[in-house]
Amino acid sequence: MKRVALIASAVALLVPAAAVRADNGSGTIASGVLIGGVSVGGMTADDASKTVLQAFDTPVELRFGTTRILVTPDLLGATAEVQPAVDQAAAAPADTQVPLTITVDQSVTTTFVAKLAKRFDRAAVDSKLLLRNGRPLLTKERAGTKLNQRKAVRDTAAALIANVRDPIVLAALHPKAKVTRSNFGPVIVIHRGENRLFLYSGARYWRVFSVATGQTRYPTPLGRFTIVVKWKNPWWYPPASPWAAGQKPIPPGPGNPLGTRWMGLSAAGVGIHGTPSDGSIGYSVSHGCIRMHIPEAEWLFNHVNIGTTVFIIPT
């Protein structure tokens, strides 16, 4: 008996103290053991698994602006390797910190973030042109809101792998409007009854010109139009109208009724152009077009674009 006891004592001396379980074979995890920061000391393996899994399943808080979204890790593609960690903890000495391995399927995270983007993204709103009291009015443009999806996936995956539950602030992008009050460009307002053409830079007054407009039989149309074509030194072609019957095309030159510049409108057959008949300016004598002094038509031609809005109003 003494011989056996001596051998047992010798074996005990050869076993490192750190390998001696603190529970002394009680079937519970040693005191002070943590799994992924969760205390499991004194628990059975089953209880430890439940505790760690419950802690891991704590919802993640995502914040976008003033909105809070709570979502469980599994919906973000996160999985915790709980059982291997518990097995390691069961064999660990007291006060051991056992890591919890977490994997994230970023395709799942990406899909979830894309759904959030559909909910929260707002397109930028361009400035809109209106006419109020005979003057242009431009509504205020608004920047858009766009979830930075790449950064959201990256930050969310990093927080899940680190197994922290601090709120994740999702970054936003703010795309700017393409059309603003400052870059809107020229706007033309023609007061038919006054035979005057007002040019604005956006909503800001720029210049005014005397013009000739259509006679009673061939009135200049009222409404909102755009400049659709610009021609230098245009040919004049007789329109399909009784007043032009039998006339022939006129090439560019001093006698051309369109002068040296033509700015055709989206109203069929109607345009703004110069005229060699300076005496007609200020009167309603044209066949529907808007006539200008040739130098002024040339100046206007250089300061407007295809797409420029033209309002024609009665007075």
- Rounded to the nearest angstrom, the gap between the alpha carbon of residue 108 and the centroid of all alpha carbons in its chain is 23
pLDDT in tens, 285-314: 999 999 999 999 999 999 999 999 999 999
Q: Considering the domain 186-235+248-313 in this protein, what is its CATH number?
A: 2.40.440.10
Q: Name the H helices within the chain.
A: 2-14, 45-56, 82-90, 106-120, 149-162, 294-303
Q: To 10 degrees, what angle do helices 82-90 and 45-56 make?
A: 140
Predicted structure pTM score: 0.76
Domain 22-133+144-179 fold: Ubiquitin-like (UB roll) (3.10.20)
Concatenated DSSP letters of 48-98: HHHHHHHHHTSPEEEEETTEEEEE-GGGGTEEE-HHHHHHHHHTPPTT-EE
Place of tokens 């922290």: 164
Residue ranges of the domains in the chain?
22-133+144-179, 186-235+248-313
CA gap 143, 107 in Å, rounded: 30
Cβ atoms of 106 and 113 within 8 Å: the answer is no
> Residues near 51 by Cβ (< 8 Å), separated by ≥ 6?
38, 40, 43
The residues that are catalytic are 273, 289
How distant, in Å, are the alpha carbons of 191, 253, 256 from that of 276? 22, 10, 7
pLDDT digit of tens for each residue in the chain (315 aa)? Answer: 333 333 333 333 333 333 334 444 568 999 999 999 999 999 999 999 999 999 999 999 999 999 999 999 999 999 999 999 999 999 999 999 999 999 999 999 999 999 999 999 999 999 999 999 999 999 999 999 999 999 999 999 999 999 999 999 999 999 999 999 999 999 999 999 999 999 999 999 999 999 999 999 999 999 999 999 999 999 999 988 888 898 999 999 988 999 999 999 999 999 999 999 999 999 999 999 999 999 999 999 999 999 999 999 999
